[in-house]
A and B are shown apart, each in its own frame.
Chain A
Amino acid sequence: MTRQALKLRTLLPLFLVAGCGTTAFSPHFRDNNLEDLKNALAGMSTEPTAAPMNATGRSLAFVVTEAPTEILAYDLQSNKVMWRVKAPLTTRVVVGRSSIFHGEGKDKIVARSLESGELLWSTTLAGGDRLLGVTTDGENVYYVSERVKRSSGGEIAYLASLKGSSGGERWVQASSGRLGAPVAYGGRLFVPLRSQSLAVVDTSNGTELARIRSKDETLLWVRRSPAGLLYGGKNGVYKLDERSVSGTQKGSTFTAAALPKSVRPAYWWDGYNASLAGYTAYDRNRLLWQLAPTGQQFVDQTIFVHNYRFFFAFDTTVTDPKKSPLRWAYSYPRHDVVASTFTGKALVLVTDNGNLIVLDPATGVPVAKQELKTKVRGATFDAAGFVAASPPADAKPDLRQALTQIIWDPDRRFGAVKLFCVDELSRLAGGDISRDLVKIVTYEDVDPVVYKRAGEALVARHDKQAIPLYLETLKSHYNFVEGTRSKAVDIMARALGDLKAGEAVRPLLQHLADHETPLPAVVEVVKALADIGDKSILEPFRDFLLTYRCDPIFTKAPAALNQVAEALLRLGGEDERQLLSFVENDPHTLLSLRNYLGEALRQSKPSPKSKKPAKAAAKK
């Protein structure tokens, strides 16, 4: 057992006894009390707005490489590597004023010089089995660790403070309730507590000064930002102010973005998830945003979605579901973006193949790119307010191109993203969009889900201008020798049927007669022909019905025969009625068709005009 662990064992019971009634994180602590909060906030210092934390004042990125694991300090302003050191780190890097901090091994916290990367000190975690988060106020270090199993005394988590200069222990507070990753801000410490509260803690001794408890939702995270101290869960962002004591979204300074359902509402890292103390896939699939100083809207009224290789910018003011809030989309080819930040004036990305890219947040257009020439696991940014070079004047986002680029991306992992892009593409105006959608549905290796969604979008467009395009697409049939295949017959049929395009009758009949047309597509072809309602379909429909009426192959798609029969009944005359009556009564006819016809014939009575003697009809 280490000396520090021994010390902790000795001290913890004392903390517990001393904390009785007023101890930090007690379940009996008064919450949502304005007086407590006012007192807690009154002593807070003001943090500089939109500027890096580090003492150099320069915008920096600490990039963690793979094989070997190294920290690479990069100056975003001069585009230069400051230093590079081997570091077997197990958590993300936390940036202080003159030091950086990170976890190492199972239970160590390490400090390094921000100027050189040189190891300054290393210390063992006090209490807890796993680190949930580290923060610094520039002078001292604070962290939360958690036990895997509750102690005999009932402790589950610890909030501890170390001297930034030496790593020496300042104080430790034990908690019987779970604690989340802490944040030091304005001379106070803010800690998520019991998944529902936010504790305001005195940095000098770990005493809890005030507590905010949400009555509406789970609080998962706390964040330091130029707009102030922010906290929240999955529903949006709260700004800490006196209104917070309401404990409700309505009563607090709260904002949220109306995002598509497919977007994961990851506003910030879940402070209770120990794995998120390190660089994980979570870094690649989250929201990027800054809050305006009022706390009531996002900066530039924009929220960015980072989804692995893709970025989307959403207008947070659009709430009408019929209107698209999507401003731009960006995709990085082939490799994942493993880290990203919105500085308030630029989007900075680092890819797993070592490219550092800066996007213009207004357009999504890349304005800078640097090659680090290394494999990257993750990165930490200290770049608040960082501005890159201005984009070229003619750099306008081409949303259609960006969306189609993502849809055509061969990476199979991103089905949901592609579906979203299909939806957004279909909302754009212009004839070329129908062409784009046709291109998607006729692509041989298209994901079936994307095919379905693009097909639905195409039909819903009701685009008469696209009829020649649909007819051209229908010309394609399967032929082994020629190496051709039919393309999206079902969707073309639906679109043309919906448009009641008379010129589609012939090509659709050709697909009906083609045995290579898949059965589900046959159903759509029949429906489309019936919808168009041209009487020239009567003969081919009679042929089709008689040919297949007894074949169990159609038990898989009874609608094909049923629809044919229905169309004959609706469009035909007495001859067709007699034919259908024969089909219904013949014992070899499929039972499903017989039943359907029985009902259909009963429901429809022949009009007196169409009645004619059977002999006359036979002579015809």
Chain B
Amino acid sequence: MLRYGIPTLVLLVLAIPGAVSAQMTGNVDKLKADLHGDNLDRAVAAASALGSLKGQESMEALMGALQLGAPPKLTLALLEALGMHQSPKSIDLLEHFATYRRPEVRVAALRALTGIKDRRIGTILIVALGDSSPMVRAKAARELGELNDRRAERPLFKMLRRGDRSAARPLGVVGGVETAKQLAELIGELPDAVLATALGTIVKRKDFGPDPLRREVIKTLCKIPGADATAALVEYIASVPEKEVRLSKITADKCLEARQK
């Protein structure tokens, strides 16, 4: 009977206070005892301490406590601590908690996952974009932007179309030419601020081009009214090296001049 790699009965034995006391040989053992003790505040503090302690033993102590189940306050502390270990071994367990019934726990699990370098993380985050909690979706979207995971392009686009603004910037990070074109067609349909954020992020990217394509995006931004589009144009101009001559930059300048009039 395995539970995320550790036999449950072993976990049970570890959780028995008497058994733990008998094995208290070092700092980790004391913290483990606190983790499984009656005092919740001490357990939370122990979890934080185990997060700071590097090493297999402290990580397994955290995983064991999570697997045996804990009150929400302690669960959050355990997830934060486990995230500090950034170990691929904890991915399965963290993925399990990324589908916990409390959104704050799901967010904490996602946060813990994002420190781990593993391709599976992107997949888990993409699944989280479908979450009913805006808080969880926003966290997943932001992290996917940070990871620059191109697999998230379509889900993020759909998320934006369904009215979740938190997808705008991450979509700008991972979105390609096709996304830029599709966003341009949504003027008037999606909020101006959302479109300006997404397109402004796309056009600033060094990997986005060539310049005629950037110019098209700038023209689209010109069509979007409001301060967000203006800010996106200003930021774009600022992002282009001073000495570099770009038609898209000239177009952005002209557009800003026209807006000032």
Contacts and interface: CB of A to CB of B under 8 A. Distances in A.
Chain B associates with chain A: yes
Interface of A: 478-483, 513-516, 539, 542-543, 545-553, 575, 578-579, 582, 586-588, 614, 617-620
B99 A513 contact: yes
Question: Considering residues B1, B129, B162, which has the most beta carbons from chain A within 10 angstroms of its beta carbon?
Answer: B1
A483 B162 contact: yes
Question: Considering residues B13, B67, B68, which has the most beta carbons from chain A within 10 angstroms of its beta carbon?
Answer: B68
Interface stretch (B2-10, B198-206, B218-226): B2-10
Interface string B103-135: 000100000000000000000000001111000
A545 B132 CA distance: 23
A480 B129 contact: yes
Nearest to B137: A480
Given A481-B162, A618-B7, 7 more contacts: A478-B130, A546-B3, A550-B71, A551-B101, A588-B40, A588-B70, A617-B9
Q: Which 3 A-B pairs have the closest CB atoms?
A: A479-B130, A618-B9, A546-B69
B208 interface: no
Q: State which size class the interface on B falls in.
A: 35 or more
Contacts of B7: 618-620
A553 B155 contact: no
Interface string B143-159: 00000000000010011
B254 interface: no
28 contacts: A480-B137, A480-B162, A481-B129, A481-B130, A481-B155, A482-B158, A515-B100, A539-B1, A542-B3, A542-B8, A546-B3, A547-B69, A550-B72, A550-B74, A552-B71, A552-B72, A575-B1, A575-B8, A575-B9, A578-B12, A582-B16, A586-B15, A586-B68, A588-B69, A588-B74, A614-B9, A618-B7, A620-B7
A481 B99 contact: no
A480 B101 contact: no
A547 B106 CA distance: 13
B38 interface: yes
B13 A588 contact: no
A546 B129 contact: no
Interface of B: 1, 3, 7-10, 12-13, 15-16, 38, 40, 67-72, 74, 96, 99-102, 106, 129-132, 137, 155, 158-159, 162, 164
Contact of B72 (A514, A546, A551, A587): A551
B76 to A, nearest CB: 12
A518 to B, nearest CB: 10
Contacts of A582: 12, 15-16, 68
Given A546-B68, A551-B71, A618-B7, A579 B132 contact: no
A579 B12 contact: yes
B158 A481 contact: yes
Contact of B69 (A515, A550, A614): A550
A514 B106 CA distance: 12
Contacts of A552: 71-72
A217 to B, nearest CB: 56
A588 B132 CA distance: 28
A252 B100 CA distance: 70
A345 to B, nearest CB: 58
Contacts of B3: 542-543, 546
Given A514-B99, A618-B9, A620-B1, A480 B68 contact: no
Given A480-B131, A549-B69, A618 B10 contact: yes
Contacts of B13: 614, 618
Nearest to A618: B9
A480 B132 contact: yes
A53 to B, nearest CB: 64
Given A551-B72, A575-B8, A586-B15, A478 B132 contact: yes
Nearest to A586: B15
Nearest to A572: B1
Contacts of A547: 69, 96, 100
A553 B102 contact: yes
B35 to A, nearest CB: 11
A129 to B, nearest CB: 60
A515 B155 contact: no
A481 B159 contact: yes
A405 to B, nearest CB: 33
A548 B69 contact: yes
B9 A515 contact: no
Question: Considering residues A515, A542, A543, A545, which has the most beta carbons from chain B within 10 angstroms of its beta carbon?
Answer: A515
B1 A542 contact: yes
A480 B164 contact: yes
Contacts of A542: 1, 3, 8
A515 B106 contact: yes
Contacts of A483: 162
B131 to A, nearest CB: 6
Question: Considering residues B40, B101, B155, B158, which has the most beta carbons from chain A within 10 angstroms of its beta carbon?
Answer: B101
Nearest to B158: A481
Contacts of B69: 545-550, 588
A170 to B, nearest CB: 75
Contacts of B106: 515
Given A546-B3, A618-B13, A480 B159 contact: yes
A9 to B, nearest CB: 75
A618 B101 CA distance: 29
Contact of B38 (A516, A546, A587, A614): A587
A480 B164 CA distance: 10
Nearest to A550: B71
A578 B9 contact: yes
A575 B72 CA distance: 26
A184 to B, nearest CB: 68
A619 B9 CA distance: 8
A550 B72 CA distance: 8
Contacts of A618: 7, 9-10, 13
A542 B15 CA distance: 16
Contact of A550 (B15, B70, B131, B158): B70
